Amino acid sequence: MTLSGKRAFVTGGGTGIGAAIALQLAEAGADVVITGRREEPLIETAAKSSKIAWHVMDASDETSIIDAMTAADDIDIMVANAGIADTSPVAKITMDHWRKVFATNVEGVMVCTREAVRQMVPRGWGRIIIVSSVAGLKGAPYIGAYSASKHAVLGLMKSAADETMTKGVTVNAICPAYVLTELVQKGIDNIVEKTGVTAEEATQQLANVNPFKRLIETDEVAAAAMWLCGPGSGAITGQAIPVSGGQV
């Protein structure tokens, strides 16, 4: 596959799933801009490919997203991946917790999607990929706000897909199961702290949720994103695609 000449924008592209997607896009020849709040992981990932540039951006801030997307200019591939996974039992959810999760996971994704549609539709080609989660397809204990946010972006994705269906733009979501990234490492640290098990045991607990009895690899999630950008992908739109080992 070649994506030579295509311009991609990956939020949260300095680490984890976003970095894997950015590197695979760059390897296929796309010019990629990765964004995040911290410079260090952006610099580290960009150093791995001459096709990757970086821009500091806060995905919970509309102006910051618009500034970064304007600087990137004429984006062909939008990967709205940045997200946070703060946890709380439903009975203890505060408004601050709820709003913080929604600001990045829903409002940020909405702005990225809206601005991408504005840029792509007039040019008649575009690929918008939202990184949701298996938690966007089913709930689980302690992730009420996170799960709600990941369900919410699927509604946005389906509406955006309906609006762009005949305009050369596709809008889809990828729904990974547990992948070992900074985000899941925090969850593992939390299990260790609260239950006293070892990090290996906590990791295996998460792996055991999956029928494969292992965590999903970042490159497996990136491969799904690449497929949505590649030849023959124009008829796939409005879909929430699990990369979950059959978990959902």
Helix 144-164, helix 95-102: angle, nearest 10? 30
Q: For residues 27 and 62, which CB has a smaller minimum distance to ligand NAP in the complex? A: 62
Closest to ligand NAP by CB, 38 or 123: 38
Is residue 178 flagged as an active site residue? no
The CA-atom distances, in angstroms, between 196 and each of 15, 199, 201, 214 are: 28, 9, 10, 21
Among residues 84, 146, 218, 244, the one annotated as catalytic is 146
DSSP secondary structure of 97-145: HHHHHHIIIIIIHHHHHHHHHHHHGGGT-EEEEEE--GGGTS--TTBHH
Draw the binding track, 31-50, toward ligand NAP (x: CB under 6 A; -: no contact).
-----xxx--x---------
Taking the C-alpha atoms of residue 74 and residue 88, their distance in angstroms, rounded to an integer, is 39
Q: Which CB sits closer to ligand NAP, 114 or 167? A: 114
Q: By CB under 6 A, tell whether 10 contacts ligand NAP.
A: no
Q: From CA 212, how far away is CA 216, in angstroms rounded?
A: 9
Question: How many chain residues interact with ligand NAP (CB under 6 A)?
Answer: 30
Q: Determine if 224 is a binding residue for ligand NAP (CB under 6 A).
A: no
Residues that bind ligand NAP (CB under 6 A): 11-12, 14-18, 36-38, 41, 57-60, 81-85, 104, 131, 133, 176, 178-179, 181-184
Please give the positions annotated as active site.
146
